[in-house]
Amino acid sequence: MAYKNQVDSHVPKLKSFYTGQGMKCDATNSDEGNGRARDNTTELDKLEAHGYNVGPDCIKTEDGIFESLQKLPSNLLTVFRPSDPDTMLVVKKIRKELNELEILRLIHLIQPQSEHIITLLNSFHGQSSSWVILPKIMNDVEDWLRYDLKRFSPHFSPVCWGLIEGLAYLHKHHMAHKDIKPENLLVDHKFYLKIIDFDIAVHAIHPICTLHN
């Protein structure tokens, strides 16, 4: 998901550029998100019951406010807690037949946690699906490769090492992601990598098998 800054329009096509034109990353800019959520009032009520309001699709960091270049997929919404309106989060709807909630909960219980795997902040169940609350990170590797390869290139090495360390952590704990691709690798404005999307990931409960078995 690509993000842009409205001020530095002279910089290549990407996203992580300062807005700085009075845009506020708060509930006053959340009309579109609220409209999407109100397509299912029950789900909106569920979010509000757990202390989350639908927010604008932007991110506020110490470097400025970043606005999305693209709409979020239909199973994602930007949300925030009224007690912390400057911190935008992502709520993801997960179909019950998928493994993501189980895997994220399992990863959350492991200590120490990996710095290169998305953090599960909260989860709860709806009528036909589950919801997970995750940190909102601006861009994935596909965005960087497509929109701003020049600025991304000096950071290839640490990003790749982040992927290696994240996968090694999963494998150490007998988990396989099974869907590693550029759009499932988030990279923030400081070029720090996080692995996401554990929809089809698996946990090998009995990881050691003999050749005979």
Judged against a pLDDT cut of 90, whether residue 4 lies above it is answered with: no
In the predicted structure, residue 114 carries a pLDDT above the cut 90: yes
Indicate the domain borders of the chain: 3-203
Mean pLDDT of 111-133: 91
Residue type, 159: V
Sign, CA torsion 38/41/43/44: positive
| pLDDT at position 104 over 70 | yes
Percent of the chain whose predicted confidence (pLDDT) is above 90: 45
Of the pLDDT bands very low, low, confident and very high (cuts 50, 70, 90), residue 23 is very low
Cα–Cα distances in Å, from 141 out to 82, 137, 148, 184, 192? 31, 12, 10, 8, 11
Place of tokens 């020049």: 150
Q: Which long-range contacts (CB under 8 A, 24 or more apart) does 118-127 make?
A: 118/186, 118/194, 118/195, 118/196, 121/89, 122/50, 124/46, 124/50, 126/42, 126/43, 126/46, 126/93, 127/42
pLDDT at 35: 53
* 148-205 pLDDT tens trace: 888 899 999 999 999 999 999 999 999 999 999 999 999 987 899 999 999 999 998 7
pLDDT at 2: 54
Q: Which residues of 55-78 are buried (b: 16+ CB within 10 A; e: fewer)?
A: bbbbbbeeebbbbbbeebeeebbb
For the stretch 45-90, pLDDT in tens is 888 999 999 988 777 766 666 666 667 788 899 999 999 988 889 9
Q: Please give the CATH topology (third level) of the domain spanning 3-203.
A: Phosphorylase Kinase; domain 1 (3.30.200)
